Structure 1
Amino acid sequence: MTKRRFKEYELETGCGVEACLEVVGGKWKGLILHHLMQHGTLRFNQLQKLKPNLSPRILTAQLRELERDEVIVREVYPVVPPKVEYSLSPAGESLRELIQAMQKWGDRFLVRVNAPVRKTSAK
C-alpha cells in the first residue's frame, strides 16, 4: 500500500486538490474509473482486456489502492474458480463528473497540441 504524501492536510488551502489527485492520480487509476463508469461492474480479466498493456501486477496494485480509498468495491464470490468483481462505490460514483470533465479536457488538449491520436473502432 502506498503511503499518503502528507502527514496532515489543511482544508480550503489546496490540499483537497492534492488529496483528490492522490486518489485518482497515477498512470492507470483514472482509466480504471473511466471503464467502470462506462461499463459498470467488471471482473479483473475484463479490465485487463480493456487495456492489454497494463500488467496484472500493476492493475492489482491500482485496484487495491482504489479499494483502500473506498472509491471502488471489490466483491468476492465463494466459487471455484474464484470470481471477483469490481464496481464503483458511492464515493466513486461521486467522481463521475470529475472524470468526465477530465476526459473532455484531455481530448481537447490532445487535439490542441496535435498529438497522434486514433479513432476507436466501431464494435
Structure 2
Amino acid sequence: MVKSKEFDWRSACPISSGLDLLGDKWSLIIIRDLMTHGTRTYSEFLESPEQISTNILAERLRMLTSINLIERVDRNGVARNNAFQLTPSGAALRPTLEALGKWSQKYLKSFHPEIVRLD
C-alpha cells in the first residue's frame, strides 16, 4: 500500500486523493481490462485499442500493484506467462467505473458520437 510518507498527496479530500492515484490517463483503462477479461498478461494489455506504450504500461502495473489494486498471477512458473488480476480493493472499483461509463453514454454522446453502449 502507498504510505503517506511515500506519496505527495495534494489534500486530505477523498476525491482528490483517489485522483492522485488513479487520475492519470491509463490506470483505469488497465482496471477496466481486468474487469472485462479477469486476467491479462503484459502483451494482452498492449493489444487494447487505446494503445498504451510499453514503458507507461510497466510503470502503471508497478504502481497499481504497489497500492494493492492488482496482483501478479504466476502461470506455470514461466515469467512471460505471468498475468495480472484485480485484488478485492481493485474489484471494488467496478461500480465506480460502471457509473462513469453510464454517465459518459448519457452526456458525451453529442461530443463523441462513436461512443458504444456498455449494456
Q: Residue 111 of structure 2 corresponds to which residue in structure 1?
A: 115
**Aligned residue pairs: how many?**
110
- Aligned match of 2:67 in 66, 69, 92? 69
Deviations 1:7-51 (A, max 9, x none): 8x64xxxx2112211232110111111111011111111111013
Q: CA RMSD in A?
A: 2.1
C-alpha distance in structure 2 between counterparts of 1:37 and 1:53, whole Å: 18
Residue ranges of structure 1 left out of the alignment (5+ in a row): none
- Pairing partner for 2:8 from 5, 8, 28: 5
**Percent identical:** 26
Q: TM-score, normalised by structure 1?
A: 0.76
Contiguous gaps of at least 5 residues in structure 2: 1-5
The answer to whether structure 1 residue 51 and structure 2 residue 73 are counterparts is no
Change (3 A) 1:116 1:49: same
1:84 aligns with 2:79: no
Q: Which runs of 4+ in 1 moved over 4 A?
A: none
Give the 3-state SS of the residue equivalent to 1:31 in structure 2: helix
Contact 1:76/1:82, CA 8 A, preserved across alignment = no
- Quick one: distance in 2 between partners of 1:100 and 1:22? 20
Match of 1:31 among 26, 29, 32: 29
The 8 Å contact of residues 75 and 84 in structure 1, kept in 2 or not, is answered as yes
Per-residue Cα deviation, 1:67-86 (whole angstroms, up to 9, x for no partner): 1110001124422x632201
